[in-house]
Amino acid sequence: MSLLSLRVDPDPVLCRPAQPVARVDEEIRRLAQDMIETMYANDGIGLAAPQVGRDLQLFVASPTRERGRELVVVNPVLEAARGRNSIVEGCLSVPQVWEKVPRATWVRLRGLDGTGTPFALETEGLLAIVLQHETDHLQGRLFLDRLPWWHRRRLPRLTRRRACA
């Protein structure tokens, strides 16, 4: 396993919708394992493939940070979302910025797991927020993009989005 280097805003790979994974093969499984190690090494609770420079619909998550209980999600689709919630979020691709982001409370997500098996997950709380944050990455969106304009305007100039604007 190896640690991957993180891409940081305004890297253009963070601005584009990622490509669907055609097949969950050995290479994808290895990438997911490396992403899990990289996520833990950087104290993250989620990491999407574009954040390590890979243009693929893949993310890993571990809101409880429990080893062996990580979620690997390939080609995710957020099918439904309900309610309003917000917590202070950060992102490994936007260092030193933490902001309260409007999100749904509850989501239903469909995708493939790390073995390529289809699954659906209905969840709320922190995991629901992580799923929304990571799914956004695969659409080329950062959490800063979810802030209302008046809130974003208050951010220091350098932490506003530049590359994708």
Residue of 70, 89, 99, 134 marked catalytic: 134
Q: Provide the minimum distance between the beta carbon of 39 and Zn ion in the complex, in angstroms, as a whole number.
A: 10
Closer of 39 and 91 to Zn ion (Cβ): 91
Pairing of strands 94-103, 118-124: unpaired
3-state helix/strand/coil string of 33-46: HHHHHHHHHCCCCE
Residue 134 catalytic?
yes
Helix ranges (H only) for 105-155 are 126-138, 149-153
CA nearest to 159, candidates 42, 9, 44: 9
- What whole-number distance in Å separates Cα of residue 146 and Cα of residue 68? 31
Nearest in space to 67 (alpha carbons), one of 48, 41, 91: 41
For residue 26, the minimal CB distance to Zn ion (Å) is 26
Q: Which residues bind Zn ion (CB under 5 A)?
A: 91
Rank residues 91 and 101 by Cβ distance to Zn ion and give the closer one. Answer: 91
Of all residues in the shown chain, the one whose CB is closest to Zn ion is 91
Choice between 91 and 97, CB closer to Zn ion: 91
Residues involved in catalysis: 134
